């Protein structure tokens, strides 16, 4: 109840959210004990919540919504949820000693306050995620504050180390949820269903098509409710899916028993992260019947999407080593093949070329990933990120340095995580994680357009988004930065001994250099970098570093400009 009120009324006070939550909880207790047939107990839950909000005084933002009848009233509240993003300032970590003192005196109210603060800042985040984060928060408070008496224990250090782990699910679940909602909003229910069909077929390869299709429909409906911000229906849908999965383990998977034994709040994440079940014995390696059967065109004409869904299901359950996005591209290729080969007058052996095209696409995708991993293994994190920075600054020079560094840092982390895996795990790991980063870039484009090339990749096809971004070259319409006096500045903070800070400053300069000279060649870049490194070493060895940079910096810019014009 607290989460619901904080998400619907983010501008309300903690005290008001507590009072509303207590009112609803008291009603629930009354209904459970005796008065089940009273009109209040028979109301749907969402109506009870909104009635409670609408009884509150001094909430002018909701007056118009409260005047409407359901379901319009609920839709009105959901539209306000959408417009309230950024309404509340970011969450700040409390000062350690004060937080521990508070925790020792008011443990339950403090956890409630944490739930309230996280909920109002994340109006679309699943309630189960917030509740599981609150459990982690409570554990952190007990761990750090329990040793507050120990004089050798550094409280601030304990909070600094554990806080990111506490907030990790908020960040990760929030990103995945936004990503899924972005796919639903931009590409529609058909694409989301195809994605879920590929993922579920891989996870539960022993399940029959009807069972997988039921799960796909239920999960797509859940996401529709969740993405609308309808948290009660979202939670109810999610719970029903978990119940179905855990009561049907025998026909779904032998790998989820441990997950189903966990408390309800931990089940969903566990099942999503569970390994794929083993393929059924005797499953043929090929799906030739979808190409060689004589009646394939009649079946496609009659069943359309259902026929394509069966193909995707059969192909995905046989190939756990492919990413879901690649499976969607294979499904799209199959659809195009049937459209062409089922036309009147198509050659007899038209469908047979599909296998060759399929092999070609698989080879291309695997080559791209292998090449990227070879570069990562050869160059390591910092230089691999620099390669990505050069590429993406040319593709998307309109992004800020901070954005380019952040996105390429995320891609580098994917390299570190996935390139060490066995070949059968590489593609799902790399492309599915990369898809999250590209989704973030596309949401950034939606908020503030980047350029026509990015627009084309973000809006034309979900399955082909990654190959499309990979093929983007330099933005020809970009007007390079002018060489103004403040474009490149050199200060004594370049002499820092903190390697991470120095690398970040050098990456900012690299981005600026490419925005100034997008056509820079590798040889020119190597020469400019060598000249910069020599200047930095010289000036950092001087007594008056700033004076040295003040003199040598402009000279370096003049020499580099000549070099770049050559």
Q: How far apart are alpha carbons 22 and 126 in whole angstroms?
A: 21
For 523, counting Cβ atoms within 10 Å of its Cβ (0-12 exposed, 13-18 middle, 19+ buried), the class is: exposed
CA distances from residue 312 to 101, 195, 316, 467 in whole angstroms, order as listed = 57, 10, 6, 20
Q: What's 542's DSSP letter? A: S
3-state secondary structure 288-357: CHHHHCCCHHHHHHHHCHHHHHHHHHHHHHHCCCCCHHHHHHHHHHHHHHHHHHCCCCCCCCHHHHHHHH
**Are the C-beta atoms of residues 148 and 96 closer than 8 Å to each other?**
no
Q: Which residues are annotated as a binding site for Zn(2+)?
A: 230
Question: Which long-range CB contacts under 8 A does 18-22 form with residues at least 24 apart?
Answer: 18/112, 18/116, 20/52, 20/53, 20/56
Q: How far apart are CA 37 and CA 59, in angstroms?
A: 31
Binding residues: 230
Q: What is the DSSP string of 75-120?
A: HHHHHHHHHTTT-SPPP-PPPHHHHHHHHHH-HHHHHHHHHHHHHH
Q: Which residues are annotated as a binding site for Ca(2+)?
A: 230
SS3 143: helix
d(CA 465, CA 345): 33
The sign of the torsion formed by the CA atoms of 491, 497, 498, 499 equals positive
Among 156, 135, 136, 134, smallest CA distance to 145 is for 156
């Amino acid at each position: 109840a607290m989460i619901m009120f904080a998400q619907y009324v983010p501008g309300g006070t903690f005290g008001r959210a507590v009072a509303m939550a207590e009112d609803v909880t008291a009603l629930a207790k009354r209904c459970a004990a005796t008065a089940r047939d009273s009109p209040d107990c028979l109301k749907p839950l969402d109506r009870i919540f909104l009635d409670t909000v609408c009884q509150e005084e001094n909430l002018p933002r909701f007056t118009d919504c409260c005047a409407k009848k359901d379901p319009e009233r609920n839709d009105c509240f959901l539209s306000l949820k959408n417009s309230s993003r950024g309404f509340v300032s970011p969450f700040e970590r409390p000062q350690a000693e004060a937080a521990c003192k508070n925790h020792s005196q008011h443990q339950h109210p403090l956890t409630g306050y944490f739930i309230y603060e996280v909920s109002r800042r994340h109006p679309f985040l699943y309630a189960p995620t917030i509740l599981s984060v609150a459990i982690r928060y409570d554990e952190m408070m007990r761990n750090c504050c329990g040793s507050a008496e120990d004089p050798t224990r550094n409280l601030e250090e304990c909070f600094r180390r554990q806080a990111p782990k506490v907030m990790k699910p908020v960040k990760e679940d929030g990103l995945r949820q936004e990503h899924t909602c972005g796919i639903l909003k931009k590409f529609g229910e058909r694409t989301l269903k195809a994605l879920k069909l590929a993922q579920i077929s891989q996870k539960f390869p022993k399940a029959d098509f009807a069972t997988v299709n039921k799960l796909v429909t239920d999960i797509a409906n859940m996401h529709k409710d969740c993405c609308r911000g309808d948290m009660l229906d979202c939670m109810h849908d999610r719970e029903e899916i978990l119940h179905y999965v855990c009561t049907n383990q025998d026909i779904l998977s032998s790998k989820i028993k441990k997950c189903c034994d966990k408390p309800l709040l931990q089940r969903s994440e566990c099942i999503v992260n569970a390994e794929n079940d083993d393929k059924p014995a005797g499953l043929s390696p090929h799906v030739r019947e979808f190409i060689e059967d004589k009646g394939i065109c009649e079946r496609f004409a009659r069943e359309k999407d259902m026929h394509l869904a069966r193909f995707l299901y059969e192909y995905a359950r046989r190939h756990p080593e492919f990413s879901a996005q690649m499976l969607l591209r294979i499904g799209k290729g199959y659809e195009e093949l049937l459209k062409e080969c089922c036309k009147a007058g198509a050659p007899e052996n038209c469908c047979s070329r599909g296998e060759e095209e399929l092999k070609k696409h698989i080879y291309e995708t695997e080559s791209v990933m292998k090449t990227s991993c070879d570069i990562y293994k050869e160059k390591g994190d910092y230089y691999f990120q620099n390669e990505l920075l050069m590429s993406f600054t040319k593709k998307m020079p309109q992004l800020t340095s901070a954005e380019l560094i952040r996105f390429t840092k995320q891609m580098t982390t994917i390299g570190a995580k996935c390139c060490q895996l066995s070949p059968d795990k590489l593609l799902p790991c790399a492309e599915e994680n990369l898809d999250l980063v590209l989704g973030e870039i596309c949401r950034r484009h939606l908020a503030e357009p980047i350029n026509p090339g990015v627009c084309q990749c973000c809006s034309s096809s979900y399955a082909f988004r990654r190959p499309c971004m990979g093929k983007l070259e330099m933005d020809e319409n970009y007007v390079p930065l002018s060489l103004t006096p403040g474009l490149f500045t050199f200060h004594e903070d370049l002499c820092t001994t903190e390697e991470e800070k120095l690398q970040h400053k050098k990456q900012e300069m690299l981005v600026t250099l490419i925005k100034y000279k997008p056509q820079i060649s590798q040889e020119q870049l190597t020469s400019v970098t060598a000249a910069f490194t020599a200047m930095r070493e010289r000036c950092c060895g001087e007594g008056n570093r700033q004076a040295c940079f003040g003199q040598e910096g402009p000279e370096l810019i003049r020499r580099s400009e000549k070099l770049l014009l050559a």
